[in-house]
Amino acid sequence: MQNFKQSEGLGRAKDFSIDSMKVSDLDGVLEIERSTFPSPWTKANFLFELAQNKCAHNFVVRCRDSGEVLGFSCVWVLFDELKINNIAIAKEQRERGLGKFLMEHVLEYGYRKGCDNATLEVRPSNGVAISMYRKFGFQVTGLRKSYYSDNGEDALFMSLDINEWVKHVDSI
């Protein structure tokens, strides 16, 4: 699927692609997952999402030349809601615009699937992620107390009206 707006600051977006995640991507995905999240998903979690969860839609951003997985996102389409479960970019690839590139793809995907809203949870301590989500128009709409099992940290519940977001995108 082509993005309907190229990310600014990405450099040469043609050097990267976003594809549906495959089992063969899991080594790269798990490496990013483990280095990013305090309570990482297991290989079994990803295999379930890929093979059994009919609501799940999983993506990887990769280098076109090498095929290396540089980031990933796992989302669910639940009726008219796009539930963003995780989005991560390899540490050495951050600050290149790949997170924005992937988020645009995910939101476009949700829009094309008929989703009106996008939701996610984020740690209040994750200022970098919160900043990116706010740039897309996500707003804090709730708090999930003691959400994270590793340390009992709360989660900010954030949501976005995808149709409003699309109005600010140059073209579809």
Residues labelled as active-site residues: 121, 133
Residues 6 or more apart in contact with residue 97 via CB below 8 angstroms: 7, 8, 9, 10, 11
Burial of 14 (0-12, 13-18, 19+ CB in 10 A): exposed
Q: Given the structure tokens 């995780």, which residue do they identify? A: 86
Residue 6 carries which DSSP code? P
Burial of 101 (0-12, 13-18, 19+ CB in 10 A): buried
Report the Cα 70 to chain-centroid distance in Å: 12
